[in-house]
Every structure is written in structure tokens, then in C-alpha cells.
């Protein structure tokens, strides 16, 4: 039910480093949202064509969607921790990372032939 989608223009890392980043982010999102990791999905789209601040240096845009309600304090902490992890894992300065947080209605989130509503 939590979904972290990552789009980056950073050069793709080798497969072991990508796998480690995805695994690390999955565990991190599960822990920070107090959700079972078995429901967490992480998606990484590398080689995205991006411009940030008018330039073409590597950047990252991520979306974290969650069934339920994220509080402002949770969002602030999530932003801090996820920016650190994405910066470290992708080699992108934190000031070149945007993250959008979305609360999703469980009835509008499908899974396994049903919804979380």
C-alpha cells in the first residue's frame, strides 16, 4: 500500500547497488510508516530526462503514496530520512531532490482483486 516511485536523471548504478538501494528503501518506508513491508512497493526509473533549476546536473523526483493520513510531522521526518537515503544511494545532492507525499483513500487503492477500503 505504500508506494515510493523514484525518477532520476543520475547515471544508473550497477545492479547490486540498485538492489541494495531498493531493499533499504523498502525497509525504511515500512518502518517509518509502521506498515508491513510485504505491502511496500518501490519503483526506480533511471535515465529520466530532467531539468532542475534550469540545469541538467543529476536530479531526483520521488512520490510517496500512502493509504491513510500522514501528519505534517511524519512528512517532515520522511522528507529528511528519504532525502538522505536517496542522496546517498543515487549520488545526488539533497538540494536537487523533490519528494511529493500523497494520502490515498483505501477505497481508491486496488490490490489482489479488491481495495484497501
- Total Cβ atoms within 10 A of residue 10: 19
Active site residue 36: no
Q: Which of 2, 16, 58, 93 is catalytic?
A: 2
Contacts 24+ apart (CB under 8 A), 68-74: 68/33, 68/103, 68/104, 68/106, 69/103, 70/101, 70/103, 74/32, 74/33
Just list the catalytic residues: 2
Amino acid at each position: 500500500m505504500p508506494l515510493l516511485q523514484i525518477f532520476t536523471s543520475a547515471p544508473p548504478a550497477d545492479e547490486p547497488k540498485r538492489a541494495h538501494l531498493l531493499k533499504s528503501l523498502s525497509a525504511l518506508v515500512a518502518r517509518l510508516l509502521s506498515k508491513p513491508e510485504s505491502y511496500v512497493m518501490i519503483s526506480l526509473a533511471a535515465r529520466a530526462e530532467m531539468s532542475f533549476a534550469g540545469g541538467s546536473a543529476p536530479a531526483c523526483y520521488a512520490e510517496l503514496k500512502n493509504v491513510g493520513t500522514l501528519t505534517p510531522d511524519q512528512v517532515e521526518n520522511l522528507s529528511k530520512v528519504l532525502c538522505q537515503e536517496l542522496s546517498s544511494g543515487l549520488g545526488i545532492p539533497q538540494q536537487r531532490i523533490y519528494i511529493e507525499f500523497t494520502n490515498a483513500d483505501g477505497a481508491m487503492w486496488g490490490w489482489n482483486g479488491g481495495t484497501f477500503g
